[in-house]
Amino acid sequence: MKDLLKWLTTLSGLLLMLAGVPALLGFVLPLLLLVEGESGALEFSLGWVVYLVLTLGCGGVAFFQGLLSLTGSPSRALRLPPTWALGGGFFLLLAMGLGLHAAVFCAPFGFPPVFLLAVSLPPVAAVAWMMDRQPGGVTWRRALVTFAAGATVSVGLAIVLEIVLPALVLVLVRDLGDRVLPAVELLLDELAGGKVAGALTSPGFLVALVEIAIIAPLAEEIAKPLITLPLLKRLKRPRDAVLVGAIAGAGFAALENVLYAGAGLHVWAGILLLRAMGAGIHPLGSGLVAWGWHDLLHRRPGAPGRWLARYGLAVGIHALWNGGIVLVLALVGANVFGSRAPTVNLLGVSEAGVLLAVLAVEGAAVWVGARTLTRRLLPVDEEQSLAASMPAERAIAVWALVCLLVLVLVGLTILRSIWLP
């Protein structure tokens, strides 16, 4: 069974590499676009480099690490730079990227590698923070393959789930939506002067709201740690399972950063700074669910209930963050298209500033909760580890509840300022 897994990893890596070989011929196209004075050279170059990294890069990692494993070559314990060094490197890359992005001729060639390193460092820093220089049973081989699989296989699974689940939700709530939408539109029409009602109650907006705040957390927290299942059976300690799951989540987060920042390339640095605040969300959520799978695979008493609790906690943390982001975007849209003032009565600070502060608090709490969890799981003895894990889970659950209450109170205060004269 072990050899079969190694062969599957090696062959899948080879196939992924072969998919990227034809793209090597595209290296001259950005230069031709620049010479011809055409726009889009940077966008093409960035997409081309991302594709090569996902195929030749991730495929190469799986292929060569699979071969090394088949030949019995040992792998060293994973040692990551300290979190402060990774954070400093992130800001240095931001500065370099801003400079390269402004240099029109150099941007298609120098910006993409700097951009890819910048999007990867925050989630890697979150893993380093959770690991706390104590890798346990996590080796470089396991980490590299898991990170690559998280950025490819897990993202693909999540996309499939995020397409299927919304279709089911729309079928189930279609009739209810037909009754509720007109009433909501009328309310917003009265409160916002008719300028944002059509946009905020359109089917597209509601689909996006459900997708981002509900469907995405449900799908992604299932998809991220699935690729770790073959490895979890071989890991003895729960802490190793959490760290392996966190690495898969980091790979997932890195590619998600690419998609978000690439979609808003003109403000890519701001997007990355915002997402860096919540860089621990994907690793922590994936680590929690992987920990639940670890208990199930090792048939520990009460494992199904613990898996469900950890999955629910991961989804809740993720949904809380996404919900805050959706609220920021909705309020910004209402601010642009509506007739209200740009500030609310919260010490004279704009609602965008207040919500960003709430998201920063939540993001910081994720980092604290993640480190607390992995430290609680440090004892080598398995029974001690399981006993120590319960206070950590309760602490994270209490923190999530507090953040939710804060976000709700802030949201209600802002909405009250919008709706009441």
Quick one: DSSP state of residue 378? Answer: -
| pLDDT above 60 (res 4) | yes
Per-residue pLDDT band for 384 (boundaries 50, 70, 90) equals very low
**pLDDT value at position 348?**
45
Residue, of 411 and 166, whose pLDDT is higher = 166
| pLDDT above 80 (res 399) | no
The pTM for the full model equals 0.82
Per-residue pLDDT band for 322 (boundaries 50, 70, 90) equals confident
The model's pLDDT over 268-320, given as tens digits with 9 standing for 90+, comes to 888 898 889 889 999 999 999 999 999 999 989 888 988 998 998 898 888 88
Cross-strand pairs, 77: 139
| pLDDT above 50 (res 193) | no
Domain ranges of the chain: 1-74, 158-243+260-419
User: Within 10 Å of residue 291's Cβ, how many Cβ atoms?
Assistant: 28
Please enumerate in sequence order all residues whose Cβ is within 8 A of that of 224, keeping only pairs 6 or more positions apart, or say none.
150, 154, 158, 245, 248, 249, 252, 282, 285, 286, 289
Residue, of 168 and 205, whose pLDDT is higher = 168
> Which range among 111-115, 118-122, 273-277 shows the weakest confidence by mean pLDDT?
273-277
Residue, of 10 and 365, whose pLDDT is higher = 10
Please enumerate in sequence order all residues whose Cβ is within 8 A of that of 163, keeping only pairs 6 or more positions apart, or say none.
none
107-131 and 268-277 are packed helices; what angle lies between their axes, rounded to 10 degrees? 10
Per-residue pLDDT band for 80 (boundaries 50, 70, 90) equals very high
